[in-house]
Amino acid sequence: MSSVLKIKDLSIDIKKKKSNVNVVKGINIEIGKKMKYGIVGESGSGKSLTSLAIMNLLPDALQISEGSITLRTENEKDLTKLNKRQMQSVRGNEISMIFQEPMTALDPLYTIEHQLLEVLRFHTNYSKKEMREMGLDMLGKVGISRPAEIFKSYPHQLSGGMRQRIMIAIALICKPKLLIADEPTRALDVTIQAQILDLMNELSETHDTSILMITHDLGVILETCERVAVMYAGQIVEESTVKDLFQNPTHPYTQGLLKSIKSLGNRRETLYSIPGNVPTPIQYQEMGCRFVTRCPFAMEKCKTQEPSMYAVGEGHTSKCWLHEEEGKDHE
């Protein structure tokens, strides 16, 4: 499989005067051509930070301390080594991102036409007429029935679902090889959510675009993705195909997530929740396994020794001491 994006041993730190504090550690992800890959985990697990690192949009207080992010499109390049101008030519052209909140991501002072065509003005040499035609065509592809009228509208005049479609149109108008979708359906109702997910799947096929889906919703992962990485406290704790993850979750954290979904549909059963809270980055430094304080299977060495990523099946890995004997070290 030829990969479009390969992340190897990525770590992100908070910059401090005395010593940096690690928030994301040892991320390894490989996304193939036209693949739909998901990253799932609760709030604070490092999902969005990973996506911002790919786009080189980390806040000033954060920095990539280790690892590489290799993009393979027309040529191979390590995104962590590109300067600001080089990265600007990649964003919106080879990689695009749909942010969590379309209302805040869209500029309230400019029309939809201005914001949609701005991407083409920056990355292409098309005439105004050609860009306008391309913009109207893309609005039609994302399911907007009155593109000429919507062109003249401002973001506040549109519904949440409509704004999200505009964001998808902006992200796809240059036909990027990779689309990062950070909680793309977070603020939408269930009906619109299903339409947006179907639309993204369809556009991925027609544009040969790979998708990196960032979400806390396992239902979205099941609906859209082929492979999935489960993140907890800044680390990937399990990675496999979506089918294997749902049929055979091997990490206690993943098992807890799936158990909470199953209990949600059972009226006779109390809703299950994983006990305790996610540790803070300061607490990470004092732990072996970062899930140790919430794990029902925790052993003594879990408190002081970090487990490796073990192979527990074909294309299935789990970061847990429970699999030390049955699995081989995958790192």
Residue pLDDT, tens place only, 157-175: 998 888 888 988 888 888 8
Is residue 1 over pLDDT 60? no
Domain count, the chain: 2
Residue pLDDT, tens place only, 183-210: 877 766 777 777 778 877 887 788 788 9
Whether residue 221 is found in the same domain as residue 248: no
Q: What percent of the chain has pLDDT over 90?
A: 52
* Domain ranges, residue 189: 3-232
pLDDT at res. 264:
56
**CATH number (domain holding residue 8):** 3.40.50.300
Whether residue 166 is found in the same domain as residue 299: no
Is residue 239 over pLDDT 90? yes
3-state secondary structure the chain: CCEEEEEEEEEEEECCCCCCEEEEEEEEEEEECCCEEEEECCCCCCHHHHHHHHCCCCCCCEEEEEEEEEEECCCEEEHHHCCHHHHHHHECCCEEEECCCHHHHCCCCCCHHHHHHHHHHHHCCCCHHHHHHHHHHHHHHCCCCCHHHHHCCCHHHCCHHHHHHHHHHHHHCCCCCEEEEECCCCCCCHHHHHHHHHHHHHHHHHHCCEEEEEECCHHHHHHHCCEEEEEECCEEEEEEEHHHHHHCCCCHHHHHHHHHHHHHCCCCCCCCCCCCCCCCHHHHCCCCCCCHHHCCCCCHHHHCCCCCCEEEECCEEECCHHHCCCCEECC
Whether residue 244 is found in the same domain as residue 320: yes
Whether residue 310 is found in the same domain as residue 197: no
Whether residue 200 is found in the same domain as residue 264: no
Residue 103 pLDDT grade (very low, low, confident, very high; cuts 50, 70, 90): low
- Entry pTM: 0.88
Query: Pick from 197, 232, 267: which residue ends a domain?
Result: 232
